[in-house]
Amino acid sequence: MTDRLVFAGPASKEFAKALAHRLNLPTISVEIKEFLDTETKYRFLENVDGSNVLLVQSTYPPVDKNYMQLFLAAHHLSQEGAKVHAVIPYLGYARQDKPFLSGEVVSLGVVSHLLKSCGVVRVTTVDIHSAEGLALFAMPTYSVSAIPSLVSYVKKNLNLSSPVVVSPDFGSSKRTEAFAALYGAQHLQFAKERNRNTGEVKVETGKMDIEGRDVIIVDDMISTGGTIRAAAMKLKEARVKRIIVTCVHALMLGDSEERLMEAGVDEIIGTNTVPNRVSKVDATEPLSAYLKTVSE
Ligand code: R5P
Report the alpha-carbon distance of residue 251 to residue 223 in Å, rounded: 5
> Is residue 152 domain-shared with residue 243, that is, in the same domain?
yes
Number of domains in the chain: 2
- Residue 220 Cβ < 6 Å to ligand 1: yes
> Is residue 9 domain-shared with residue 123, that is, in the same domain?
yes
Give yes or no for residue 1 having a pLDDT over 60.
no
Does the residue 136 lie in any domain?
A: yes
Q: 218 C-alpha to center of ligand 1: Å?
A: 11
User: Using 50, 70 and 90 to split pLDDT, how confident is the model at 2?
Assistant: low
Report the alpha-carbon distance of residue 37 to residue 217 in Å, rounded: 39
39-57 tens-digit pLDDT: 999 999 999 999 999 999 9
β-pair type (267-271, 243-250): parallel
Q: Which atom of ligand 1 is nearest to the CA of 223?
A: 12
User: Using 50, 70 and 90 to split pLDDT, how confident is the model at 201?
Assistant: confident
Range of the domain at 267: 147-272
> Is residue 265 domain-shared with residue 178, that is, in the same domain?
yes
Q: 256 C-alpha to center of ligand 1: Å?
A: 12
233-273 tens-digit pLDDT: 999 999 999 999 999 999 999 999 999 999 999 999 999 99
pLDDT value of position 278: 98
Does the residue 278 lie in any domain?
A: no
Does the residue 121 lie in any domain?
A: yes
Site to substitute for ligand 1 among 60, 90, 221, 265, most atoms within 8 A of C-beta:
221
Q: Which residue CA neighbors atom 4 of ligand 1 most closely?
A: 220
CATH number assigned to the domain comprising residue 247:
3.40.50.2020
Does the residue 153 lie in any domain?
A: yes
> Is residue 115 domain-shared with residue 168, that is, in the same domain?
no
Does the residue 107 lie in any domain?
A: yes
Does the residue 277 lie in any domain?
A: no
> Is residue 137 domain-shared with residue 219, that is, in the same domain?
no
Q: 113 C-alpha to center of ligand 1: Å?
A: 25
Lowest-confidence region among 142-151, 192-201, 245-254: 192-201
> Is residue 187 domain-shared with residue 257, that is, in the same domain?
yes
> Is residue 118 domain-shared with residue 195, that is, in the same domain?
no
Average pLDDT over residues 83-105: 97
Site to substitute for ligand 1 among 200, 201, 223, most atoms within 8 A of C-beta:
223
> Is residue 19 domain-shared with residue 78, that is, in the same domain?
yes
Report the alpha-carbon distance of residue 192 to residue 230 in Å, rounded: 9
Pick from 122-126, 167-171, 197-201 the range whose average pLDDT is largest: 122-126
β-pair type (40-44, 30-34): antiparallel
Does the residue 239 lie in any domain?
A: yes
Does the residue 23 lie in any domain?
A: yes
Q: Which residue CA neighbors atom 5 of ligand 1 most closely?
A: 221
State residue 192 phi and psi, 5-degree precision: -115, 140
CB 161 within 8 Å of CB 185 = no
pTM: 0.96
Note the helical H segments in the chain.
Answer: 13-23, 63-79, 107-117, 147-157, 173-183, 226-237, 256-262, 284-291
> Is residue 287 domain-shared with residue 140, that is, in the same domain?
yes
Q: What is the mean pLDDT of the chain?
A: 96
266-278 tens-digit pLDDT: 999 999 999 999 9
Q: Which residues are catalytic?
A: 192
Report the alpha-carbon distance of residue 150 to residue 218 in Å, rounded: 9
- Give the DSSP letter of residue 27: B
263: helix, strand or coil: coil
**57 HSE (CA, 13 A, CB side):** 26
- Residue 167 Cβ < 6 Å to ligand 1: no
16: nearest Cα among 80, 105, 86: 86
Give yes or no for residue 25 having a pLDDT over 60.
yes
> Is residue 139 domain-shared with residue 160, that is, in the same domain?
no
> Is residue 153 domain-shared with residue 136, that is, in the same domain?
no
> Is residue 110 domain-shared with residue 8, that is, in the same domain?
yes
- Residue 221 Cβ < 6 Å to ligand 1: yes
- Residue 288 Cβ < 6 Å to ligand 1: no
**131 HSE (CA, 13 A, CB side):** 6
Report the alpha-carbon distance of residue 23 to residue 15 in Å, rounded: 12
